[in-house]
Homo-oligomer: A and B are copies of this chain.
């Protein structure tokens, strides 16, 4: 009988061979082999991460920090390969999100039906 783990490995293999993953991997390699692009992207991610951490900790974020993040974002957006990489990352993240929804659907059904179960419908 098929088991969820084997099936998950099969899905990982298909995902790895997908067009979305191939594109992401290719762009990732291009950006990482370009020292200027890599530094620009690392910088952007660093700034983003610091802001996210501050937000999670409920810390004050200054006008200057917001403007700096905005500047970094515009910079990477103008870099063709980086912006393509970021688009590919968003698409992959969409695919992973969709997959998670599909996989947890049986659980959603089970918990969504809570209260109906065994009560013979409307009452």
Contacts and interface: CB of A to CB of B under 8 A. Distances in A.
A85 to B, nearest CB: 11
Interface in A65-84: none
A49 interface: no
A3 interface: yes
A1 B22 CA distance: 15
Contacts of A8: 11, 98-99, 102-103
A122 B118 CA distance: 63
A102 B8 CA distance: 6
Nearest to A100: B100
Interface in A94-110: 95-96, 98-100, 102-107, 110
Nearest to A6: B14
A18 B106 CA distance: 11
